[in-house]
Structure 1
Amino acid sequence: MQDFRTETFLDVCDTLSYTRTAQRLNITQPAVSQHISHLEAVYGTKLFSYSNRRLSLTEAGEVLRDALTVMAHDERLVKERIAALSGKRRTIGFGATMTAGEYVIARPLARFLQQRPDLQVKVVASGTDDLLALLHEGVLDCALVEGFFDKGYYDWEVYCTEQLVAVCAPGCRLAEEPQRLEGLLGEHLIVREPGSGTRAVLEHALAARNLSLDGFARTTEVTSISIIKALVESGYGIAFLYESAVRAECTAGTLRAIELDGPAIEHDMTFIWLRGSLFEREFRGLVHELAVCAGEV
């Protein structure tokens, strides 16, 4: 079970300041120092180092932080499971990146929840980096991400593989014949913001060809997938979006896919949760149930 000293330690990991932690926890700064010293004595090593007026975690501190973060998260889930025994609904903190949330998981999730009246879900849609932070803060239990993540810190399971496609307006010459990726650099590119999984996958694919976003004639950053599609439909530029996000528009003819020479740009959409969680089996079961629901939609 977590106690006040581990709470202090995790807060210092977040603030990297004894003073700010004391203010946030409404305790004195000497108390913060005492709590950290106690843990260092228990584990027989320094957890923080101080250099150039900056506090930082030692390697041992990072190990302890990761372990206690998982423990704190699992303790909350245990409390909710116990409360559920008396009839209270269990809550799942569920995150999804924008494309994954709107075009991949929304309908399967709705079907899943219809079958599970014992659950209530808190859904957060945001960029991959934001979702990773919320997992570590304990706000989320698991997340479906399209971006890249460090597999050393999370347990994970691939949900599906999506293709990133280039799209343009109807009647655009680019859709008339296959194009080389390099041949699109003279175009105006409408792209998601930094931190977006879609953008990260595109940047990775470009880098594999020694290209970058800077190589395009012009770029416009837009945070909304719907706005990007509307701009492309009007002939304002081209965009790279996941096939699931533009399937309806390409079928209706309001967008055209640009056929690219070479291998398709593909990327996994992956469920992740904190590595070492006692509830790993439950999270994997959730992924399976959502996949079944996706097949029924």
Structure 2
Amino acid sequence: MDNLELSIPPLPQFITANRLQYERGFTHFERSFPLYDILYVTQGSFHMTEDGKEYNLEANHLLVLEPFKRHWGHRACPPGTKLYYLHFKHPAPVRTVPGEEIQWNSMLPSQNHWDHEPAEQFMYIPKMAVLDPDATVPLLEEIVRRKRRFTLENQLPLQALSAQFFMLLQKAVRSQSGTRSHEISRLVVEDLRARMEEPFRLEALASRLNYHIDYLSKCLKKHTGLTPVQYLNRLRMEQAKQLLERSNLTLQEISEKVGIHDYNYFFRLFRKHTGISPFRYRQQHKQ
């Protein structure tokens, strides 16, 4: 399944939404405009072409039409067709990516009080998907209801509801991109987190999970971009940063607390990951 990768922050901005029912056959007109147009069919069928590619939506099907791409109806929908549409504004997708290539467990750098700009992050929504109506329809109904009462009081709830909708879409991306390798990657991450303070041995990891270490490493690398040792070191350095910020432990005590008993190695590793020494990091935090 193809998915759209959107850069955040900021989150997509809600523009409008509505529920439609066509008593007669309807063919969507041709247009290109600067917004995303999300269509969710609840009854009947709807037929759209975007930049020459045809999409035929049945009940519970969702389609995301992208900004500035020309789209039109290539066939009339049958009488009685019902659907929701939602428009939102956001820059064009960074790329289109298959679900199995999304690195859900990749580690992002933690930010601190001295950071002035948010780190680059991404969200994912499906280009086309089948969604559970029990979860989707009530949320869209509430968005439409709030939109029809367009008062100052409703503006923030509308943006918050649209964010919930995008969370629902990303959840659909993740659930449909679940593969065996992704599950193995998740197990490795959970094991590394649970035993972060213990001495690490690849053979012990393989024995606990009952897979060959080469296979475990391959799965983790595919879904995080890191080997088990690299991922563990990232975890340890993030934990060390929190301890430097929030505790009065000595640097030696912090080193041992995160499972590294060689302080010189801890010092080199911390400097490699952050660009500064642990002492300087703590000093900057206090300043």
**TM-score normalised per structure 2:** 0.26
Whichever of the two has the greater Rg, that structure is: 2
Higher fraction of helix: 1
Structure of higher RCO (CA pairs closer than 8 Å, 6+ residues apart): 1
